[in-house]
Amino acid sequence: MLPELGASYGVTSGDVAVSVTAYLLPFAALQVVSGTLGERWGGQRTVRVAYVAYTAASLLCALAPTLAVFLGGRALQGVANAFTTPLLFAALASTVPPERLGRALGWFGSLQAAGQTSAPLVGGLAAEFDWRWAFAVSAVVSAALAVVGIPGTHERPERPPSLRTAWRRDVLRVGLVAAVGWGCVSGLSFLVALRLEDAFALSAGTRGLVLTALGVAGLATARLVGSGADRIGPRRSVLIGAAVGVAVLVGVGLAPTVGLVTAAWALGGVSTQLVLVGVNLLVLRSSPVNRAGSMSLVQAIRFGGGSLAPVVFTPLYGVAPAGAFLLAAVVVAVGIPLALPRPQEPSNPRSARA
């Protein structure tokens, strides 16, 4: 919708692209504390209030008379959404039997992939009429979710958790794994688009079609990946995902045909699901006291670290296109095994009792 937004406010698409940053910055930054605060306030109450706030922010975006007001609405959307995802993960962990948690996370991941894959299509169709309809629809959906809430009661605990129960060494290391796994594989979609244009002269529409392969593959395999993680364990799931990710990056960077690039990129959806399901299982199983706080911290590191990908890899791509993908492959191959907590590394017992 960037061209339509720019035309509506009399600015360029590049100028209005800052709306992405306006959303992502508060979304990532607040997740350092949002899960813990949500646990203190009560998960059910926090999620409902967050959805109501997201409804109001979406309406503000839809009705914004100026770009400044629109950007403010986008920032408020990021603030509100920071208080939903971590608590949804915690709700899953508290309502699903431990031996089936991976499968549940797979289902959750498949629905996330469906949303990420379909959102550009829905937004584009709305923009054919008026981009404001996309935000009006978001307002309606979030209002309905505020009514639905989350499974279980999730009331305010008698002893509210402290931030220290989330800021543990093993959680921080898992967050680093998530940042590398996401930022260096699916987070490189912009780099894949550049290669498709430079090497194969594909149009914008065709490039977009190729990029959806990752989301479609993630949607198709997420449940299977989740069930597999229950059987083989989260750590092995992450390591297998990293190995697949290395193959994806080498393939995308060196493949001589569009078909092979598309096939490699689709495999990236499987790699991402293996890593993220494994990461989420590791955190939820090791954080009985403050699951939402631990999950929100991991998500903050994931999105914050992933946001560095354009800064790190774009300059190298300008010098050596294949080298950028190969460097990302090396970061995944070395960084994830080094950052992944060892099986014998326990959580800090003092923090767990805090």
**SS3 readout for the chain:** CHHHHHHHHCCCHHHHCHHHHHHHHHHHHHCCCHHHHHHHHCHHHHHHHHHHHHHHHHHHHHHCCCHHHHHHHHHHHHHHHCCCHHHHHHHHHHHCCHHHHHHHHHHHHHHHHHHHHHHHHHHHHHHHHCCHHHHHHHHHHHHHHHHHCCCCCCCCCCCCCCHHHCCCHHHHHHHHHHHHHHHCCHHHHHHHHHHHHHHHCCCHHHHHHHHHHHHHHHHHHHHHHHHHHHHHCHHHHHHHHHHHHHHHHHHHHHCCCHHHHHHHHHHHHHHHHHHHHHHHHHHHHHCCCCHHHHHHHHHHHHHHHHCCHHHHHHHHHHHCHHHHHHHHHHHHHHHHHHHCCCCCCCCCHHHHHC
- Shared-domain flag, residues 140 and 168: no
Residues 142 and 200 in one domain: no
Query: Would residue 168 count as lying in a domain?
Result: yes
- Answer yes or no: is 189 within a domain: yes
> Averaging pLDDT over each range in 54-63, 141-150, 181-190, 192-201, which range is the top one?
54-63
First vs last Cα of the chain: how many Å apart? 47
* One domain, residues 49 and 196: no
Residue-wise pLDDT for 168-179, tens only, equals 889 999 999 999
Residue 348 lies in a domain: no
Cβ partners under 8 Å of residue 236, min gap 6: 278
Residue 167 counted as domain residue: yes
Q: Are residues 286 and 221 in the same domain?
A: yes
Residue 111, pLDDT above cutoff 90: no
- In terms of pTM, does the model score above 0.85? no
220 plus 331 within the same structural domain: yes
Do residues 90 and 209 share a domain?
no
If you average pLDDT over residues 271-281, what whole number do you get?
Answer: 92
Q: Are residues 10 and 128 in the same domain?
A: yes
Q: In the structure, what pLDDT confidence band is assigned to residue 68 with cuts at 50, 70 and 90?
A: very high
Residue-averaged pLDDT of the chain: 85
Closest CA to 212 of 275, 260, 274, 266: 266
Q: How far apart are CA 285 and CA 283, in angstroms?
A: 6
Is the per-residue pLDDT at 267 higher than 90?
Answer: yes
Q: How confident is the model at residue 352 (pLDDT cuts 50, 70, 90)?
A: very low
Task: Name 110's Cβ contacts closer than 8 Å, sequence gap at least 6.
Answer: 218, 219, 220, 222, 223
pLDDT of residue 152: 65
Task: For residues 213 and 143, state if they share a domain.
Answer: no
Query: What would the pLDDT profile of 141-173 be if each residue is shown by its tens digit?
Result: 999 999 988 876 555 556 667 777 778 889 999
pLDDT band at 118 (very low <50, low <70, confident <90, very high): low
pLDDT tier at 346, thresholds 50, 70, 90:
very low
Q: 60 and 198 share a domain?
A: no
Same domain, 192 and 91: no
Give the pLDDT mean for 42-59. 93
What's the number of domains the chain is made of? 2
pLDDT for res 288: 74
Asked whether residue 309 is domain-assigned, the answer is yes
126 with 202, same domain: the answer is no
Domain stops at, among 123, 148, 173? 148
CB of 292 closer than 8 Å to CB of 156: no
| 156 lies in some domain | no
Q: What contacts 265, CB < 8 A, 6 or more positions away? A: 192, 210, 211, 213, 214, 248, 252
Let me know if residue 206 belongs to a domain: yes
pLDDT band at 119 (very low <50, low <70, confident <90, very high): low
pLDDT at 31 over 60: yes
Neighbours of 76 (CB within 10 A): 20
pLDDT value of residue 24: 81
Using the predicted structure, report yes or no on whether residue 184 has a pLDDT greater than 60: yes
Percent of the chain's residues with pLDDT above 90: 39
The domain in which residue 260 lies consists of 163-339
Residue 344 lies in a domain: no
Regarding whether 211 and 124 lie in a shared domain, the answer is no
Q: Mean pLDDT across the stretch 204-229?
A: 84
Q: Which residues neighbour 125 within 8 Å (Cβ) at sequence distance 6 or greater?
A: none
Torsion of CA 43, 48, 53, 57, to 10 degrees: 110
Q: What is the reported pLDDT for 350? A: 43
The CATH number that applies at residue 98 is: 1.20.1250.20
Average confidence (pLDDT) over 241-263? 96
Residue 124 pLDDT = 62
